[in-house]
Amino acid sequence: MSQPSKDVIAIGNAIVDVMAPCEDETIERLGMTRGGMTLIDTDQARSLYGEMGPAREISGGSAANTLAGLAAIGADCAFIGQVAQDQLGEVFAHDIRAAGIAFATEARAGDPPTARCLIFVTPDGQRTMNTFLGASQYLPAEALDLEAIADAALLYLEGYLWDPEEPRAAMRKAIAAARDAGRKVAFTLSDAFVIDRHGDDFRKLIANGDIDILFANEVELASLTGKDDFDEGIAALAPQVPVLVVTRSEKGAVAVSGSERASVAAEPVDRVVDTTGAGDLFAAGFLFGHVRGKSLEDCLRMGAICASEIISHYGARPEADLKALIEKRMG
């Protein structure tokens, strides 16, 4: 097996986040699920955008956010995702390349437009996301760069993109390409609603040994295993994957690999401004540690440090020097 030229290649939704602060009353008035992620259509996207106050546009998407964190720490990364030939598509492509991430997926002509996520942020930092998937759900298997997938140490996939049929087929093809090349596959479950729709698929991937690193939060763990008790959920799932990582918000995170179990507390922050991207950046820190051969506990600590940076400001892309921050806090 040849040495990989890249650390991580990811496949995910190519989304531009549109973020605005709001009061709790707005969430209730608009009938949104507080703290959740809801898929919306074109008309809903227009309506909700009209309800937003002054907003910021920041390139996002779960896997793309993770790569932005990885690149900021020093990893060599590539991204595969579908944008349209429009202004937001140009914004996304510019931002991800400016972060030092290779992005060669050709933009798609015509409708639908580039995906966007309308994020309402309440005073406590909680984010309520309304996602219009647009062009991102039309990523064809033909758009995959199979050589690039085979040439990366790790393939990272986001559960959100498993929902639409076309990219789901593309990700299955990518998993096969990574497996054939002897590379590792990491998968994030993304959200309980995705598990509700595709849990059987995910369980088959796990049972087939197609996932080397699985990321989940407490809610997703319960949804996938059917166990409401956290430790019972860990006990049920950990033996099925080489590395299981479960985040617990302010309670920190736990990872299990074979007979080894490690846990870390959440890193302290002065004030939680916006939790958008916390899980994505946790994955960035963890994966960086993993591809660099760090211990399970060190991987968790790196993840917690990255997550603490991202929740201290608006947006899901790092603003501080993550590499310097990790070096300082890790000693």
Q: What are 132-157's pLDDT values in tens digits?
A: 989 999 999 999 999 999 999 999 99
Q: Is 124 part of a structural domain of the chain? A: no
Structural domain total, the chain: 1
Q: Using alpha carbons, list the distances in angstroms from residue 274 to 16, 123, 125, 285, 329.
A: 16, 9, 4, 18, 22
Is residue 301 very low, low, confident or very high in pLDDT (cuts 50, 70, 90)?
very high
Residue-range definition of the domain harbouring residue 242: 6-14+61-111+137-330
pLDDT tens for each residue of 178-198: 999 999 999 999 999 999 999
CA–CA gap between residue 199 and residue 225 (Å, rounded): 9
Cis peptide before 112 (omega within 30 of 0): yes
Is residue 316 very low, low, confident or very high in pLDDT (cuts 50, 70, 90)?
confident
Residue 306 sits in a domain whose CATH number is 3.40.1190.20
Lowest mean pLDDT segment, chosen from 256-265, 279-288, 322-331: 322-331
Q: Is 234 part of a structural domain of the chain? A: yes
The answer to whether the beta carbons of residues 8 and 67 sit under 8 Å apart is yes
Helix axis angle for 278-291 and 296-310, nearest 10°, is 150
Q: Is 211 part of a structural domain of the chain? A: yes
CA–CA gap between residue 106 and residue 218 (Å, rounded): 36
Q: Is 32 part of a structural domain of the chain? A: no
CA–CA gap between residue 248 and residue 243 (Å, rounded): 16
Q: Is 48 part of a structural domain of the chain? A: no
Q: Is 301 part of a structural domain of the chain? A: yes
Q: Is 261 part of a structural domain of the chain? A: yes
Q: Is 106 part of a structural domain of the chain? A: yes
